[in-house]
Structure 1
Amino acid sequence: MSNPDAATPRERYRAQVREEIKKHAWEQIAAAGASALSLNAIAKQIGMSGPALYRYFASRDELITELITDAYRSLADTFRARAAAGADLGDLAHTLRAWALDDPQRYFLLYGTPVPGYRAPEDTTRTAAQIMAVLLDACPDEEPPGTPPSPPSPLQSHLGRHRAWAEQHPAPPAALHRALTFWTRLHGVLSLELAGHFTGMGFDPARLYTAEAQTITGQ
């Protein structure tokens, strides 16, 4: 990682302008969604010409990629910090919800409807894989110590052969299954809650989320 103190004044200015552009981009996303993101509109907001702004981000897609990478890195760093403090899988479930509620637009940029015409580069998927690695590390063994292992289910056998999504993590198929269950079921509840689909149903979404997390983690 580069040392900001060693950067030249020009480099520091460029970094500051890029951060300001991203700040306005998040404001646009919050107001109208990522599909409405406009570099020319941001240029007007910060008193810059369109061509001048393109010296900082060459395209809308480059700006979206930067925002997505920042968001994935934020969640990965949050998970790693909690895991380093001793968090188990149940704790990580509540960490995920708190992170999502803190900035729903950031959450939806990662896990909501894909931005039309945008294709994320491979680098962003590698950053996302860091989040899954923390989850896999936190997945407990399915069997108590000394218990003969149970035969894998058909899905676990499938995951054992199709594990590219887990990168090089050595987790056994049962842990892969648990991590995927954690990810899909909890994101399902979160997405519905943040999109307002529980409004008017008369129950507390936090309790539903907690119950789902307890079912998955056994805690």
Structure 2
Amino acid sequence: MPSSMRERFREQVREDVKAAALDQLASGGAQALSINAIAKQLGVSGAGLYRYFASRDDLLTALVLDAYGDLRDAVAQEVDAAGTPQERFHALARAYRAWAQAQPHRYELLFKPPVPGYDAHAEPLALAARSLMMILLGILADLRAEETAPPRAYGNEEVLAVRAAGAPEFYLAVAVWSKLHGIVSLEIGGGLTAMNIDVDALFENEMRILLYRTTQRAAASG
């Protein structure tokens, strides 16, 4: 089989395995993930699939990286289509929530330890997570400067430098993300269901408050 055909076949098998794995995640969470069960579903041997994913953790990593990429693309698309820094802030928050609502099993895979012993802080995963922080840092920079141009594009090395320097904008970004993540996680996890409240209204109100406080702090750090 020519090399290009072999690579296409390999990638197709990997995609089929990941699709089956996502079905398992949706029905039973990360604990339900089983290479052997996927092999049975696909009609191949378990040993054969280990040629495509060396272990369950290797498969988990591929799923996490895909999820980070999809979430970042969904957020970036909405942010890029928005206008002012304030509009981009709300676009980021709403896109983040919408993605989590549409794919809660993938959202939880990103922000909960999937299985005991899994290294969720490995460098490829940390790099993928920082890609989201790049978008937020760009918006915060625009809020501070009150620019209406497209968001400042932070690179990975800049994010690392901002964090290492203990810069105010890094701590502000972490505070914003913590608030956004907290509300969305409560909603996705069912923590707001019993409160008999309008979650949409709650989210929009909390984001308005968060934007106001963020704008004040961004201006103070400028």
TM-score by structure 2 length? 0.79
Distance in structure 1 (CA, Å) of the matches to 2:162 and 2:9? 40
Check whether the contact 1:97–1:190 (CA below 8 A) recurs between aligned residues. yes
Aligned in 2, Cα 1:165/1:143: closer, same or farther, shift over 3 Å?
closer
| Number of residue-to-residue matches in the alignment | 196
Structure 2 counterparts to residues 1-219 of structure 1, below 5 A: 8-86=4-82, 88-120=88-120, 121-139=122-140, 140-142=142-144, 166-169=159-162, 173-218=167-212
Deviation of 1:200 (Å)? 2.6
Amino acid at match of 2:98: A
User: Contact 1:129/1:165 (CA < 8 Å) preserved in 2?
Assistant: no
Q: Matches of 1:83 and 1:199 in 2, distance apart?
A: 29
| 1-structure distance, mates of 2:192, 2:186 | 7
- 1:95-142 deviation line (CA, Å, top 9, x unaligned): 110111110001000013442121132111111101101100001445
Tell which deviates more after alignment, 197-206 or 89-98: 197-206
- In structure 2, list runs of 5 or more residues that go unmatched: 148-156, 216-222
CA distance in 2, matches of 1:101, 1:61: 25
Q: CA RMSD in A?
A: 2.6
CA separation in 1, counterparts of 2:162 and 2:89?
17
Secondary structure of 1:8's aligned partner: helix
Runs of 4+ in 1 over 6 A off after TM superposition: none
Structure 1 residue runs of 5 or longer lacking an equivalent are 1-6, 146-163
Structure 2 Cα separation of the partners of residues 38 and 165 of structure 1: 39
Identity of aligned residues (%): 42
Q: Normalising by the residue count of structure 1, what TM-score does the alignment of the two structures yield?
A: 0.80
How many angstroms does 1:169 deviate by?
Answer: 4.7
| Greater share of residues in helix | 2
Distance 2:182 2:95 in 1: 16
Which deviates more from structure 2 when the two are superposed, residues 72-81 or residues 27-36? 72-81
